Structure 1
C-alpha cells in the first residue's frame, strides 16, 4: 500500500510527452532556397513542404504534388518563420531539411549573413548540404524531379551517391564546413545546380518524356568562395581536381591515351601530402601524390603486359601533372590560392611566387577480367 501511494504521488510530477509533435500538425520542410535582390537588399525565401497525401500510392488520391512550394519576401531573414504562420495551416518544421540552395547573385554579394543566421538559430541545420543555383530560383524551386518525387530528397540522394568517394565520408560542402573555413585563404568550392530546359517541369506531365535531361536539374561546375563570398566559378574537371588536391576526394576517373588508343582508369585511395622544400633562392612547395589505379575501359589492341601497365601508370602521372600545373596557373592568375599554400605555411604576400614541385606515384592494382581486349583482325 505504501509503494502504491509513493507511485501515485510521483505521477503528479510527470508531465507526459509535453514536447511531442503530431506529424499531421507539421509543415515539414524538405528543401529551402534563398535569393537576395542586390539593389534593394530584399530576400526571397522558398520552402518546399512535403504533402503526405501526394506521396500516397493509393488510387483515387486527389492530391498529385508530393511537395508544395511557398515563397516569402522580407528584408530580414529572422522574420520568415513568422510569415509562414500566416499562410501555412501547420507548424513550420525544418528538422528534416535536406538541402539549402542559394541563388548565384546572392552568393556573389556574400552570404555571411545567411551563415550567421543558420549558426545562431536554436534549431539550426548547419549539417545540411549547400548548393548554388545558376538558374532562376523560381525555376529550381518549382520543378518536379524524376525517380524521386521529393526534390529535396532527390538532391540529397545525388549527394549520398558520391559520399563514399570523399575522405571520412564528408559531403562536398555543408554549412558548418563553410563556417569553419571562413577565415582561411584557401577557397571553398560549392557545387552548382543547373536546370536544363527553358521552363520548369511544374507538372508531372512534363516528366512523361523518356529523355529527362531536357527538363531537369543537374550538377557540374563549382562556385568558388573566399571569405563567404562567391568570386567566380570553375568547371567540373577543375572542381574535381580541387577536391583531390585539398584531400577531400579520394577517388575519380581519368582518361589517358596509350599507343593511339584511349584507356579509362579510376584513381582510388588518392593520398596527398604537402611539405616545404629548402632552396637558397626561392620557396618550394611540394605536392606528393600517390594513387591506386583500376582499369575501367581499355581500347588498346595490344596485349596487356607489365610494360603496358607501366605505360598507363606513366601516362596517368603525366596527365595529372599537366592538369595540376594548369590548375595552379589559373588560380594564381585569378588570385585564388586553390592549393592552400598560405594555409600550409606560405607567405600571404608572396604565395604567387611560390614554386610548386609535383611528385606523382601511381600503381596499377586492378586490370579487369581479361588481359587483352577483344578485336577483329
Structure 2
C-alpha cells in the first residue's frame, strides 16, 4: 500500500499536477480529434477518455460543438462528470479543413491552456473526419489514441512511411514563414486506423498526400530512413531488397544551387538475382541510380507544388541573409549506397 501511495504522489509531481486530486475524480484524456465544417462555420471537439471500468470498453468519448474552438472544447469537457486530465494526452487528430483554417488558433489555444501539455503527436485524418477516426474500432487491447501514437512513434517498424510531428514541431512549422508544414497521415482500413504516408502543405494550406514510396524518400532527406526497404527488379518475378540501417545527409546551399550528398549503409535482405547480377559493385551502382531518380522526382514534385517542406528557403536565408524561391534553385544530388554483404562492405567511388 505504501508503494502505491508513493507511485501515485510521483505521478502527479512528474505530470505537473500540484493540486492533489483523487484518481477517481479524474477523467484521463487519451486523445483529441478536431474537426471544422466550413459550411456551418462550426467546430467539433472529440475526447477519447480512458475507461477505468475493466468490464467495459477501453475508452469512451465526449463530443462538443461550437462556433469557436474554445466553445467546442468546453462543451466536450462539460459533458464529463469528472475533472478532465490532459497530462497523458498522446495524440491529436486534425481534419483537413481544420488544419487549413485553424492552425494558428489551435497554437494560441494550446499555448494559453495550462492544463494541456505539449508532449503529444499531431496527425491529419484522410478520407474521414477526425471524429470518425478516433471513435473507430480499437485493436491490440489498446485505445485508438494509443494505437495511433504507437504507429507514429515506431514508424521505423512500418518502413518509415510517416514522420513524427509533435505539438512543438507543428507550431514551429506553422509559424515559420520559410518552411512549409507536413503531417503524418492516418486513415481507416477496414474500420481500423493505419498510417498512410505524409501530407504536404503550401502556405499552411493542404496540397497533397505523399504515397508510401515518396514518404520513404522524404525520410531519407530528413535523415530518418533507418529500417527503410527499397527494391530493384532484375526480371519480372525476381528482385533484390535492401534495408537501410545507417545514413548521412548533408545539404550545402550556395547562391544558385542546392547540393545534397547522401550516404546510405544497407543490408541485402533478399536477393533473387544472384545469377543475373554477380558483382556487388554493380548492384550498389543500380541502387545509387534508383534512389537518385526517386529523390529527384520527389524534389521536382515539391517544386511544382511550391511546397518547401525541406526548409530550403530557411537554409538559404541563414546562409545568404536574403530570401529566394526554393523552386528556382538548381539541385545537385549525389547518392552513395554501401552494401554490407556477409560482413563485407563494398564502396562505390563516384
Give the 3 Å change call, closer, same or farther, for CA 186–366 of structure 1 in structure 2.
farther
Which residues of 2 match residues 205-220 of structure 1 at below 5 A? 214-220=190-196
1:266 aligns with 2:273: no
**Which of 213, 217, 238 is the aligned partner of 2:214?**
238
Report the alpha carbon displacement of residue 70 of structure 1 after superposing the two structures with TM: 0.8
Q: Does 1:298 align with 2:271?
A: yes
Contact 2:144 2:193 in 1 (8 A): no
Write the mapping of 1:56-95 to structure 2, written as runs, cut at 5 A: 56=54, 61=55, 63=56, 65-80=57-72, 82-84=74-76, 86-95=78-87
Match of 1:318? Answer: 289
Q: 1:101-250 residue pairs with structure 2 within 5 A?
A: 101-134=93-126, 135-162=128-155, 172-181=164-173, 182-196=175-189, 214-250=190-226
How many equivalent residue pairs?
320
Aligned to 2:9: none
Structure ID, larger Rg: 1
CA distance in 1, matches of 2:187, 2:77: 31
Corresponding residue number in structure 2 for 1:287: 260
- Using the alignment, how far apart are the partners of 2:227 and 2:178 within structure 1? 25
C-alpha spacing 1:366/1:121, structure 2 compared with 1 (3 Å):
farther
| Maintained 8 Å contact 1:36/1:42 | yes
Distance verdict in 2 for CA 1:304–1:251, change over 3 Å:
same
TM-score by structure 1 length? 0.77
Given that residues 122 and 170 in structure 2 are in contact (C-alpha distance below 8 angstroms), is that contact kept between their aligned partners in structure 1? Answer: no
Tell me by how many angstroms 1:84 deviates.
Answer: 4.2
Indicate the RMSD between aligned Cα atoms, in angstroms: 2.9
Which residue in the other structure is 1:31 paired with?
Answer: 31
* 8 Å Cα contact 2:31-2:89 kept in structure 1: yes
